[in-house]
Amino acid sequence: MIILPPVEQYKSEYNIINAQVFNSQGGGIFQEQFLTIIAPDHLLDSILIDNTYLSPSIFVPVHNSGFSYANISTTDGQHQIIASSPIAVLVYGYGEAVSYAYIGGMSINNLLENNYIFNSNICSNSATITYHESYNSGIKSYEIIEQYNCNITDIEQKT
């Protein structure tokens, strides 16, 4: 199981390592090494792994999302992935009784682009609540932990 970075944190260039651990006889513990690339559909013909373009035909569309993914068998060691725009890279390997997985990296962009300001009337005492949405999902979620005849009204959106 691996957590995917949000689209807003994808990168255009990754330098990753498919790890290998050796047993006491000198054999590799991880028999299979992989990368998964997740990319917007319009980028599929511009992705390089170790200076070789990937074929767009290896990508599988993610239904009605505008994105596709490819699971790519690879070798132990370092790999460079470059795209003309941001993509996601997952790195993983399997052995007989062990495995590993990690995200190939991500940007650390400030995602606090939208500020929603609410006017709250809590038991006749006014308070201002600011809600920060990390990206423009179109979904608003409010949670009231304790409610005593409270009203919350969305009064303004600042971008």
Reported as a single tens digit per residue, the pLDDT across 3-18 is: 888 888 899 999 998 8
Looking at the domain assignment, is residue 128 inside a domain? yes
Place of tokens 């179109």: 138
The β-bridge partners of 17 are 78
**Amino acid found at 106:** M
Is 108 part of any domain? no
Choose one of 83, 103, 123: the last residue of a domain.
103
Q: Contact 149/108 with Cβ under 8 angstroms?
A: no
- Considering the domain architecture, whether residues 35 and 73 belong to the same structural domain is answered as yes
Structure tokens at 83: 């795209």
148: burial class by Cβ within 10 Å (0-12, 13-18, 19+)?
Answer: exposed
Strand ranges (E), the chain:
11-18, 30-40, 48-49, 52-53, 60-62, 67-74, 77-95, 99-103, 114-122, 125-133, 151-158
* Entry pTM: 0.67
Please indicate, yes or no, whether residues 97 and 118 belong to a single structural domain of this protein: no
Total domains present in the chain = 2
The whole-number pLDDT of residue 145 equals: 47
pLDDT of residue 133: 52
pLDDT at residue 144, as a whole number:
46
In a domain, 1, yes or no: no
Report CA torsion sign: 51, 62, 94, 91: positive
Residue 44 included in any domain:
yes
Give residue-wise pLDDT tens across range 34-59. 999 999 999 999 999 999 999 999 99
51 and 124, same structural domain? Answer: no
Are 28 and 63 found together in one domain?
yes
Please report the sign of the dihedral spanned by the C-alpha atoms of residue 21, residue 22, residue 28, residue 30: negative
Residue 84 lies in a domain: yes
Low-confidence stretches of the chain (pLDDT < 50) are 119-122, 126, 128, 144-145, 147, 159
User: Are residue 44 and residue 81 in the same domain, yes or no?
Assistant: yes
Range of the domain at 142: 114-158
* 2 is a domain residue: no
Q: Does residue 148 lie in a domain region? A: yes
One-letter identity of residue 107: S
Write the DSSP symbol of residue 50.
Answer: T
